[in-house]
Chains A and B, each alone.
Chain A
């Protein structure tokens, strides 16, 4: 059974203080790893898909990386508007159903 674990559960940063969020996974065969951002009272917003170890993707202050066992979401010089819950997920063998981690709630203080 696929398992996804995110840490930390919550992270408080000062504006400009860079950090990383972790997503560890156990799957029978990786078909990709997805990162989403979720704001309170909203649905998740797609950020990145990573497919193979060593792959990196960037979007503004966010950079996602992937190894064979985990993914990191690096946040460089975060701003208060980056405050949200970040979710990672892996698809099943058919590629269409997602197993989500518990999420990391990021709070960036000005």
Chain B
């Protein structure tokens, strides 16, 4: 149980285009999901907290207009990288929070974004 999926797993796009990444909790409902960014050989950096039915909370230094987050249902959150530039190339990982009991974050497999 507690499976989180992400789609796509890899995406290559041209500079200036927008890219949408989906994060789904497959076998549980998650009122809270999180989006992380990870640079090579570094730990996870929290970008934003996504709450179902309300606006996302962004960490300091993360541009909310560039990284649009929507949490439309209890099993789906999306991250849209708008007007992507090469410096946005990174590994993006989502997690879904399973509340009650162990209160554990379960992570998706990640999405590798490359902006040319």
Residues in chain A near residue B43, CB distance under 8 A: 87, 100-103
Query: How many residues of chain A have a CB within 8 Å of chain B?
Result: 22
B103 touches A41 (CB 8 A): no
A-B contact pairs, 6 of them (CB 8 A): A42-B110, A43-B95, A44-B93, A46-B2, A46-B106, A49-B102
Those of A19-51 within 8 Å (CB) of chain B: 31-32, 34, 36, 41-46, 49
**Interface check B105, CB cutoff 8 A:** yes
Interface of chain B: mostly helix, strand, loop or mixed: strand
Contacts of B106 in A (CB 8 A): 46
Residues of chain B with a CB closer than 8 A to A98's CB: 46, 105
Candidates B2, B97, B107; contact of A43 at CB < 8 Å: B107
A43 & B112 in contact (Cβ 8 Å cutoff): no
Closest residue of chain A to B108 (Cβ to Cβ) is: A43
Report A-chain residues with C-beta under 8 Å of the C-beta of B107: 36, 43-46
Q: Which listed residue, A49, A96, A100, A101, touches B99 by the CB 8 Å rule?
A: A96
Give the distance in Å from the alpha carbon of A46 to the alpha carbon of B34 in the complex. 15
